[in-house]
Amino acid sequence: MEYGISSFINFAFAAVDVFSGEPKGVTMTAILAKAAAMALVQHPVVNASCKDGKNFAYNSNINIAIAVAINGGLITPVLRDADKVCGCLVNWRLS
């Protein structure tokens, strides 16, 4: 399968315009985090983990970590329950 990103880019630019009046607006990173959370709702097997090599545990929470470069390394803030928050709140929690 092959997927293009042009529809995502068009949607992201439209969303940036729509939320431009909000105190913090919305970023492409926040939109991508929200899209990933929505995809995990539809495909919960991707949000599973295997602890013993045989049995899978399906996680009930959808938490998204975003890697952020800082001097000397990376930090990864976690957006908890990303599937349950609106786009503006995703951006606010990531900033």
Question: Domain tally for the chain?
Answer: 1
pLDDT of 94 reads: 56
Tokens of 60: 């009930």
Is residue 1 situated within a structural domain?
no
The CATH number that applies at residue 38 is: 3.30.559.10
User: Per the domain annotation, does 29 fall within a domain?
Assistant: yes
Residue 46 lies in a domain: yes
- 59 within domain boundaries: yes
pLDDT at 16 over 90: no
Residue 17 pLDDT greater than 90, yes or no: no
pTM beyond 0.75:
no
Domain that holds residue 23: 6-94
Q: Alpha-carbon torsion 46, 47, 52, 56, what sign?
A: negative
Q: Are 48 and 58 in contact (CB under 8 A)?
A: yes
Q: Give residue 63's pLDDT.
A: 92
| Residue 90 belongs to some domain of the structure | yes
Q: Are 62 and 40 in contact (CB under 8 A)?
A: yes
For tokens 């890697």, what's the residue? 67
Q: What is the pLDDT of residues 19-63, one digit of tens each?
A: 666 555 677 788 788 888 989 999 999 999 888 888 989 988 999
Structure-block tokens of residue 2 = 């092959």
